[in-house]
Structures are given as structure tokens and as C-alpha cells.
Structure 1
């Protein structure tokens, strides 16, 4: 880590070395470090269909092999033309390879996610879960701010979870692209 990037020139001239080191450590500890392979998924409630139907992904994943993918927004062009349709088309094939559940997460309300799932014919193939306050997304440390979409959204990613642990995680390099998180690229 380059200490000069963390503190201003004026601070460098006036501070004691121990103060500089402490500031560098504090600054580096606030950087987002997303969860990684081997980590347990966060114990956060998501919502399916209505605000009354809570789904805790950590509990749902116990004893199962799951694919979870996240999108920046329901009904958005890349998500509706490519990302979700790819998983819908490959759902039967992926489940034949031992996948128990396929879940799509977005920072939206549950009514929007339900309507999007129906519109995309995902029912019975993909569980559409709403991360209404971005709590799961923030716990994964895969949040991003996209002003035109209303603020905090999820980065685009896919992961495989086995018995509550992440075994594969692909995060799009720019957070929104369509490459490594697609159904065709999933690493089982």
C-alpha cells in the first residue's frame, strides 16, 4: 500500500511516523473487501413475492448446493435480455448437475422481483429474492452506487454455495458487465 496515497502532503509534513501508520491502517480497513471462496454467506433475510415472506439465504443453503446470481436491477436491459434469461434457459441442465436451487437477487422490492420473474417465465426455475434495503448486498460487500437506477445496487455476480459456504464466486470486473457471471460461465 502506498502511504502517500492515503494521506495528504501537508499531513506527511506535520505528523509523527506512528500517527501516519495508524491513519494508513485505519484507511485500509475501511476499504470494501468482498466475501471470497470459503466464506459463509451472510445471515440476512431477503423477501420472496411479498414483504411478509422472508427467506434467510444462510438457512436456505444448509445442506444444499445452490447457484446465486445478483443483478443491478429488475427489468433493466442487460438483466432482462441476457442475464436472467440465460439462467432460465439453463435451469434444468444446471439442476441435473446437482444444483438444488437457483436464486436471483436484486436490490428491489419483492413485488417488482415477483413481477419480473413472471414476465421472464422464471417460476419453478429461479427463485426471485428481493434485497429490499441492500442488507445482503452490503454484507457481501458487493454494493455499488448507480445513480440512474436509484442509488445503491448490487454488483453483478454469480456464486455457487454448498452447505452455506461459497465455493465459487465470479464478480463482473466493472460491477455491471455481462461476462463471468452468466449462466454459461458458472463454475460448478
Structure 2
């Protein structure tokens, strides 16, 4: 079943990238009591993800905060070390928190996986952006395969 607006995020454990290294975090704790703009990419360092998706959220970080968003987070089916390197390469700094979903457990739990086997990527997350308010999905924008339109930072901002 695919998650939808009004649903509570399922319990899952993600790996948060911190200056001190990887740290396990539950979705229950991470999303509790605040508004989080969460976006997902099929893979760190992939063309659209690196050239457009991550940069949009980095550039719009203050605009999200001005609209009452407490944190911006990115998840991908990559390990925490890859996401840490990607955050550095993309100048994400403290603007975007990277949440590794290395085994795609979170992507599977919310029903938003894709099969990237044809590209040597295996099971990955679909590209999407959502607004989560105290663990409940307030807005959800899932891309059609191969597209980058509705999950952009600008589109999610416009829906706030």
C-alpha cells in the first residue's frame, strides 16, 4: 500500500548523517512534534538528483523555514557514508539532513520503491517530496518514472 496524505509515517530506522558519523534514528523520533520537508531521490550522485533535486532544497532552505518548516531531510537507498559525501559535494551543510535508507526498508514501508535493476541499481526509492507534520503526511508529490516536476523544492514550497 502506498502512503497518502493523512497517513502516519510507519516506524522505520534510518541512519542520520552527523559530523560525528552515522547515527541510527527512528522515524517516530525524527518526525515527532515538528514539520519536516522530506524528499527522496533514487540515488546520491545521480544526474538529476545532483544537478536539480538536492540543489533546489539547499537553495530554498530559508524559504522553507520562513513557511514554518523545522527541518529539510533527504532520504535515499544509499549508505550513510555515500550520503555524507554527497551532502559535502552538494554544499548541503546544515540546510538538508541526510537520512540513509540503505536496505530500502523505509521506501518499502511507505510503498514508494522502484526497480532500478536495469541500471544496476536494484531496489531504490521513487523520487518524491512530502511535508510531514508531527509524523503525519500533510502533502505528497510523487514523480512519474523518469520525471522531475512535482517533487521539486519550488513545487513543495508552493503547496505550503
- Given the two structures, how large is their TM-score scaled by the length of structure 2? 0.93
> Distance in 2 between the 1:133 and 1:40 partners?
21
Post-superposition offset of 1:96: 1.3
Equivalent in the alignment of 1:161: 132
Local SS of the residue matching 1:48? strand
* Offset of residue 92 of structure 1: 0.9
Q: Say whether 1:76 aligns with 2:46.
A: yes
1:37 match: 5
Matches within 5 A, 1:1-188: 33-49=1-17, 52-147=22-117, 148-174=119-145, 176-186=146-156, 187-188=159-160
Unaligned runs of 5+ in 2: none
TM-score normalised by L of structure 1? 0.79
CA RMSD of aligned residues (A): 1.3
Structure with a larger share of its residues in strand: 2
- Larger Rg: 1 or 2? 1
Following the alignment from structure 2 to structure 1, what is the Cα–Cα distance between the partners of residues 70 and 112?
Answer: 24
* Structure 1 residue runs without a partner (length 5+): 1-32
Structure with the greater relative contact order (CA < 8 A, sep ≥ 6): 1 or 2? 2
- Give the deviation of 1:58 after TM superposition: 2.4
